[in-house]
Structure 1
């Protein structure tokens, strides 16, 4: 392996940083200096990019780097016991490297394995359904010299439900090339018309019509255009895109090919989150198969002028890169900070050229519509949102996994199908989505009612709401890019208010302040992260009033009676006594 990475363009920076991270277990000083010299930028600028991403380390992180998922589902599934087991087995405290330099032990946000918790990544390979005994066996095997690849788990797909009577869209036999060949016969305008008739919405949570995005890119007068698949599935509790890439990556590639055929793009990228690095091999094999079959490359299926190829761009651990403009910044070798909304990506996207950005499920659904026909798609769902939706269901239920539902399924039916009992609350669409009580059971999951981009986390009545909300808040504080004050400062202030609630030092005015700060964040934050970070907190206050009545005081006098001067000064007294 060469000792240095020859970088030709700033957009190769993430690949270069991964080269040094893989080679050394961290990014050494000489690598920073070399990359700065090659790109003719300051070392500080390279440092700024490195520090933005969770999986890039600037000091040795151990021969084997362990990342334990710290999402709320893992916390409830036994995080503390697994943490203790790793610390005992490796000799490394959380956030540190053991004295021998063999193991680095860290925590990370949701890794897309919520249906198989507790879970961890070791050298970015998955280990699921961890127990203390399993942890000790894993570490023993690594100490004995076994490779991580040899002992890691293969995450199961857990496809629990899809509509009967042939109404499934996603989980049916797939034959590569059928959708593409039909597209070449009917032409790009007809492809757009098919997607329009199907009313296909983007499946990432914004629900923007797919045909409008593709049409906008098609209409741009530019020779250089791009198709980007957002496979940075980072919303806590979501794993549907992982399952699609595991089971039917060809559907994804074919969807990207359809977008290229419609828009005239010649280059495509799959921006794959680092937590899914173990899927690279499967995706690369499918890309190679498509090239061999004549579906990728020059003159695809013999059509003059239809040239298109796909590469994988590996991310490095940043939730905010799920936002499409932050993702594009990351692909250009920058910090993944969302761009000001001056232009749509279809106008000025990657390298300031027209770019279509859709997620895995959206491209996959487009493939199925062209393959099966609009009528098959629209016979399911509702009048305004036809078709099916993939949901990642996890938490307190008997059958966690993937559920392909028809848009419009009542929430209560989903809870019954997954075996949820004694439910307190359901989180739809991740921490930035909808937190609802079981009184919403008759409400329907659809873009017009209960919106859900894919994550369904179920909490029973043994769970504490405030613990859930504080976990969400810590997640947003950590994942905020920090570029705008409303998000950076707002999330911190929310954390202080939540802490007051936990300490039972809050009254009703504190709840009013939470509402005020949430309104400010929604109005002034630069991107969706800050705008939606307070959602679950405010929804909890509004939808679970009895809970908050029980943890807030009515008046200040009651709070003063709860104050204990001796407890408040205990640490000070202990220190001063030692100094006397």
Structure 2
């Protein structure tokens, strides 16, 4: 056993005792030959690891912007009242209450995880019933919510790629008709690209890995979809996990890799038992293991590694650090993962959706894929729609579909849409003059999240929620990211209080540029995107919020800010 098992051992102790004690750290240190200090450093990095005892029932309430607009405050208050605890403070022997960022259930908000079991569409009445059942001794696994997202739309005229009939092993049966190099040629010809947000050509990545001869290669499935508003990978893991396994196996065959690892976000613990059961079925059918389908010397296996709560681990380089038992901090990249990735071996990191497309392309043929979508963006795309729509859920659309069509009566049925957030907080905000723009690589790149807001929603509340998220999720290594996201959050608060001058708006844009240019990873490079875009795209809104120039001297000194910390200290000493 080596350091790569560190996260597994930490989960093992926490699930057994409710937290990771100093004694546990000593035992793990001896077992894995990792220093106590390093282990404590890893524990402190991940949101879901605890070094102090928690209640028997650990409740994580999602605080995403969709949750805020669907009744978060009322649900939060009811949880506190019924449990006698306060959020984000030490609880009692029975309950601990914590807020957390998006848990991949935006179509069923407000939502919470109780001992990592999902509870969705929460109301004060539902919360009272849940807590009463827990107090009566019922196991949360016995009455948690069914979280299968609705597949709301698929293309007509046999243009559906993903959500069509699935027959176990069909893609693998087709795979064995071709050589590894022919498989890569088919993937390359299809023009399928990464679906997690980077949009890197999949065929090129596979070819690069295959070209590197080594005794060990790896296929890693990135199932750590932490971008708020995104839940299409969860839908795939619940609806079509076998298709994912086949896509990984095909990638292994094409590149020469023998081991696949699914890095599954901790928020999806409730899916793990079903995934493990299906993996065993694949092994029993010889779809995994040695000499798969009778192909000599073709060996491939898949294991699942649980994450522990870190947004930045969605980035490939940080994910690899996490898999190796370290803090998920993105390293300074000097090489491609296809040359020196996991354990310094050639590694392909693909998103869940990407691997599912790869399996379908081998099953259906690259020409089938190329005849759908646009010339530069062939195929379909999975979109997670939530917010002010009548039909939240999963939409498989042809590339080239317009925003207006997605919002229309035949699809999500949006109610008075004012703006749309595409690809989550790190993506692009679209105002209502841009609804004829299209989802495709030639126009709007969409990683999967599609949050709709109507005219009754406050733009500043949305922006503040987004920036609070980035402030919390920044790993802190890059000072401009750590400080800049905090400053942008404070600027938004200042606007909300009516104390903002034009200089503040100008500074927000400047900070956005600084954070983007000086940050190491994707979080910092994209965290200010929406704020800086919104200032330009909603000028009339911000002009109303900005104080007139002759008011500047009045707002230079902010009494509330000046005494806030002092007041907090005084209140604490009086408790």
TM-score, normalised by the number of residues in structure 1 = 0.95
In 2, Cα distance between equivalents of 1:153 and 1:373 = 38
In 1, Cα distance between equivalents of 2:274 and 2:313 = 23
Q: What is the match of residue 47 of structure 1? A: 40
CA positional deviation for 1:573? 11
In 2, Cα distance between equivalents of 1:130 and 1:53 = 26
Q: What is the match of residue 2 of structure 2? A: 9
In 1, Cα distance between equivalents of 2:181 and 2:567 = 78
In 2, Cα distance between equivalents of 1:155 and 1:98 = 27
CA contact (8 A) 1:553 1:559 kept: no
In 2, Cα distance between equivalents of 1:568 and 1:246 = 50
Q: What is the match of residue 527 of structure 2? A: 533
Moved >2 Å (runs of 4+): 36-42, 96-99, 556-559, 561-576
CA positional deviation for 1:220? 0.4
Change (3 A) 1:569 1:271: closer
Deviations 1:512-540 (A, max 9, x none): 11111111111110010000000000010
CA positional deviation for 1:175? 0.9
Give the one of 408, 412, 421 matched to 1:418: 412
Q: What is the match of residue 32 of structure 1? A: 25
Give the one of 457, 469, 476 matched to 1:475: 469
Listed as ranges, the gaps of 5+ residues in structure 2 are none
CA contact (8 A) 2:3 2:34 kept: no
CA positional deviation for 1:138? 0.7
Q: What is the match of residue 61 of structure 1? A: 54
In 2, Cα distance between equivalents of 1:568 and 1:525 = 30
Q: What is the match of residue 180 of structure 1? A: 172
In 2, Cα distance between equivalents of 1:409 and 1:35 = 52
Q: What is the match of residue 321 of structure 2? A: 329
Q: Which sits farther off after the overlay, 565-574 or 332-341?
A: 565-574
CA contact (8 A) 1:230 1:360 kept: yes
Q: What is the match of residue 286 of structure 2? A: 294
In 1, Cα distance between equivalents of 2:183 and 2:227 = 31
In 1, Cα distance between equivalents of 2:567 and 2:472 = 34
Q: What is the match of residue 511 of structure 1? A: 505
CA contact (8 A) 2:161 2:380 kept: yes
Change (3 A) 1:159 1:58: same
2:66 is aligned with 1:78: no
Deviations 1:61-80 (A, max 9, x none): 11010000000100111001
Q: What is the match of residue 155 of structure 2? A: 163
In 2, Cα distance between equivalents of 1:343 and 1:365 = 27
Give the one of 391, 411, 415 matched to 1:399: 391
Give the one of 125, 131, 149 matched to 1:133: 125
Deviations 1:484-512 (A, max 9, x none): 11211211121222222122222111111
Change (3 A) 1:565 1:171: closer
Give the one of 262, 265, 288 matched to 2:257: 265
Equivalent pairs, count: 570
2:382 is aligned with 1:354: no
2:232 is aligned with 1:245: no
2:444 is aligned with 1:450: yes
Give the one of 371, 380, 398 matched to 1:379: 371
**Helix, strand or coil: the match of 1:62?**
coil
CA positional deviation for 1:567? 11
**RMSD of equivalent CA atoms:** 2.0
**Helix, strand or coil: the match of 1:224?**
coil
CA contact (8 A) 1:326 1:338 kept: yes
2:308 is aligned with 1:316: yes
Q: What is the match of residue 550 of structure 1? A: 544
CA contact (8 A) 1:97 1:104 kept: yes
CA positional deviation for 1:559? 5.1
Change (3 A) 1:334 1:552: same
2:504 is aligned with 1:486: no
In 2, Cα distance between equivalents of 1:123 and 1:131 = 19
